[in-house]
Amino acid sequence: MALKDDNLVMLAQITAPHGVRGLVKLRSFTEDPDDALSYGPLMDANGMTYRLTFKGRKKGGLVVAVDGTNDRDGAEKLRGLKLHVPRSALPDSDEEDEYYQADLIGLDVLDASGQNYGRIRAVQNFGAGDMLEVTMKDSRKTVLLPFTAANVPEVDVAGGRVLIVDMDALFDQKGAKDDGNEETE
């Protein structure tokens, strides 16, 4: 029986086999990579559980053993596997301006006048900070909004919304950042 993804938070993903004895490389999405292993067995989106045992560190992640996986072929079958915990297993944040990505996804994006621009589809990070991927209202078009206090001064998870500065001031109609310069020929 498949679990509802809304109740799960992805903590890690198996990226590749490591060696010939069934070990795998694990990319952790927790602030401290070791924390991904502190929640006990992790599960896939279908609810199948996986017990992981720390074996070492490799650049970009951890090396772990997965119970029941004893050879490279078995480890290869796990490549790309996303591992989750129920949202209820995670502690509430002590920081006022700290959020789980899973809590942001699905929130409406409004400006101070109440205009709804769309919904947060995903939270991306390409190395320079978190970006909110927003699916524009009445469209399939998405834009990336830097998730900074200047651009997103208010997050109301309980109310199901984030308040942003005026979207038109951030983006032109094509979704590109408006630099304020007029084009000349």
Query: Which pLDDT score, from 0 to 100, does residue 72 have?
Result: 97
End-to-end CA, the chain: 61
| Nearest residue to 69 (alpha-carbon basis) of 34, 19, 28 | 19
For residue 42, is it within any domain? yes
Split into its structural domains, the chain has a count of 2
| pLDDT tens per residue across span 120-162 | 998 888 878 889 999 998 888 999 999 998 899 999 988 999 9
**Residues in the chain with pLDDT values less than 50:** 1-4, 173-185
Query: Do both 84 and 140 map to the same domain?
Result: no
Query: Do both 51 and 120 map to the same domain?
Result: no
CATH number at residue 9: 2.40.30.60
Query: Do both 119 and 157 map to the same domain?
Result: yes
Residue 137 to residues 21, 89, 102, 121, 178, Cα–Cα distance (Å): 50, 33, 20, 12, 20
Q: Which domain holds residue 41?
A: 5-88
- How far is Cα 121 from Cα 144, in angstroms, rounded to an integer? 10
For residue 10, is it within any domain? yes
Query: Do both 121 and 164 map to the same domain?
Result: yes
Query: Which pLDDT score, from 0 to 100, does residue 176 have?
Result: 40
Query: Which pLDDT score, from 0 to 100, does residue 12 have?
Result: 93
